[in-house]
């Protein structure tokens, strides 16, 4: 199978390489998702406390062509350093909709890496997955992610009330969408 046929090919930007998660990413995934600040607004994920948590994450995302769930590891090309992850899940192939999610090590926030990543991932979603709509959800308090999504043309559709149960409390999220026709124009 060549890259043209893949729904989730490796992607490359000016500064970054996005490749699908593999077993050897276990230590990085554990480090990323055991960081309280990285996970502050990820109400659907408990903070990782063991390497088994990272193994489960990898297992869930390791065969994207079969499952439709993918997570790319964001790698800085100049030094091969992993910075974070980005990917699609909840892929509805009948309606051509998927949800995009993303996270980044704190020390790389505000440097444009995630915007660069999302531009490439969004393009791939429309081009390779045939998506018509990409959904994104952010915690109401996550102003950085909301600003980023809006800068890319995502439209805030409202509040998805009590979207996630986390540590005994329900949390509301902003619901965003980006349509193919809005991205292309």
Phi, psi of 17 (to 5 degrees): -120, 135
pLDDT confidence of residue 45: 63
Domain of residue 153, CATH code? 3.40.630.30
Cβ atoms of 73 and 105 within 8 Å: the answer is no
The answer to the question of residue 1 being in a domain is no
3-state helix, strand, coil in the chain (%, to 5): 35, 35, 35
Indicate whether this model's pTM tops 0.95.
no
What is the tally of structural domains in the chain? 1
Q: What is the pLDDT of residues 143-178, one digit of tens each?
A: 999 999 999 999 999 999 988 777 777 888 999 999
The answer to the question of residue 2 being in a domain is no
Q: What is the pLDDT of residues 50-67, one digit of tens each?
A: 899 899 988 888 888 888
The residue segments making up the domain with residue 89 are: 10-184
């Amino acid at each position: 199978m060549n890259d043209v046929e893949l729904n989730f090919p490796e992607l490359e930007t000016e500064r970054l390489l996005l490749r699908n998660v593999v077993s050897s990413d276990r230590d990085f995934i554990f480090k990323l998702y055991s960081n309280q600040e990285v996970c502050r607004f990820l109400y659907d994920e408990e903070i990782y406390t063991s390497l088994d948590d990272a193994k489960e994450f990898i297992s869930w995302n390791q065969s994207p062509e079969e499952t439709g769930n993918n997570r790319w590891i964001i790698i800085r090309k100049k030094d091969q350093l992993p910075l974070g992850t980005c990917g699609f899940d909840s892929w509805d192939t009948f309606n051509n909709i998927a949800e995009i999610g993303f996270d980044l090590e704190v020390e790389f926030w505000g440097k444009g890496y995630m915007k660069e990543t999302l531009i490439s991932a969004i393009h791939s979603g429309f081009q390779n997955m045939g998506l018509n709509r990409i959904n994104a959800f952010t915690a109401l308090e996550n102003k950085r992610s909301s600003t980023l999504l809006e800068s890319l043309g995502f439209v805030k559709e409202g509040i998805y009330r009590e979207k996630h149960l986390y540590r005994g409390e329900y949390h509301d999220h902003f619901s965003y969408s980006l349509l193919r026709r809005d991205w292309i124009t």
